[in-house]
Structure 1
Amino acid sequence: MRVPFKLILDTGLPQLCPSCREPVGDGAGLCASCWSKLSPIERPFCEKLGIPFTYDPGPGIFSMQAIADPPAYARARAAVRYDDIARTMVHALKYGDRLDLAPIMARWMRRAGADLLKDADVVVPVPLHWRRLWARRFNQSATLAKLVAAELDLPVAYSVLKRVKATPQQVGLSKSERASNVQGAFRVDAAGKAEIARRQVVLVDDVLTSGATVDACARALLRAGARQVDVLVFARVVDSVRTPI
């Protein structure tokens, strides 16, 4: 009975592209036109921050930003630039219950983070504070982490990292304000330490903007005994041309 019922729903209420609101033929994801407008992040990019270069400076090169202000995490990778299409996808997943987008986003993330995932021991999602989780009903980062890890048979440690401080939204804050906002917000309890001790962790989130949140998470995981923390996101802000050194 589920098959005819689904056909009726698809005919009467076709799934819409979250960006242009046109019907999506297969009932999932973006339309072909909007897919073509996404901006994947490909090499050459900074090997530490994952931000793209305008020319190829050679392998293993870091950006000036990575050298001047190195983060706690070892490497970051993102599937796409955080442009209008990517923003619409993230918001549709996070606030619009468009869970059909998550498998496609996770597939792109696996491709972008292949060099991180092949060395990983465990995947950890960036947590929500319990109040925000209750209001939103699910953690989009945990959903993406589950899908990223599933095809690679990697364990996902959902409860290792705790958000112990209900921080205000980061939107509209400067880089320094974002860092102050998340200071002391994350913690690994005694039970969680055993799951990550001496292990290589891939930390998963939906978007990387200033990097303050993932950096605070990485510091908490490293203090708890993780051997290394890498970061994998669906989209990251690329705000200017980065010059390599």
Structure 2
Amino acid sequence: MLSIAGLNITRGAGAQQHCVTLPELKLDAGQVLAVTGESGCGKSTLLEAIGLLLKPEQVNVFQLGDPSVDIVQLNAAHNDNALADIRARYLGFVLQNGGLLPFLNVRDNIQLPRRLLGLTQTSEHVEHAINVLKLEHLLNKLPQALSIGERQRVACIRAIAHEPQLLLADEPTAALDPHSAHRLFELFLELVAELKLSALVVSHDWSLVKEFELPTLQANCQPGVTSFVLCDS
């Protein structure tokens, strides 16, 4: 589903320059990996590169999706329109702050990705997710009427509404208390498993990662460079 080799991204310049590298990663359909490491080591930068939001300086292999798309070839051809289309169709994003549009109610926020892709507004896939995350009673409310945990649950459903192949979640539980974080993490993994999705989840919460026995893509930090290496749970 995802195959990457020899990916390098450089952020900043001079004394502030930092290189983020991913020597190798293979992610199968239905697999979930936690991306872990200390604050500021480059976890979000790596996720943005995999999510086609940042173009790496170098990448030898970058195959995404089923059927597989050659991202290296599209980058070399500067085919930004094709990359944007792949990002919209293949990928789902869960942001740390939810990222919900404040002028749309919960139902319309969830349906937005489907509407932008011209998909039907009714989906068993979405209705099942709403049921799993227990949001039926919130569909007509605006985001400001929700708790932080409720907003994050809505963001999770919006991320899968258009039936992407890969979910990218950047610290989805960071703003929550420990109990709420545990429950959201549990529901998120349940949803991913039931829908047979693949996911990369950036998390600083080692206790959650260990409790749910997730394999990790762990940051190995050295001065000026961070290399991410796959480790067992």
Q: TM-score range by the shorter chain?
A: 0.3 to 0.5
Structure showing greater relative contact order (alpha-carbon pairs closer than 8 Å, 6 or more residues apart): 2
What TM-score comes out, normalization by structure 1 length? 0.32
Answer 1 or 2: which has greater strand percent: 2
What TM-score comes out, normalization by structure 2 length? 0.33
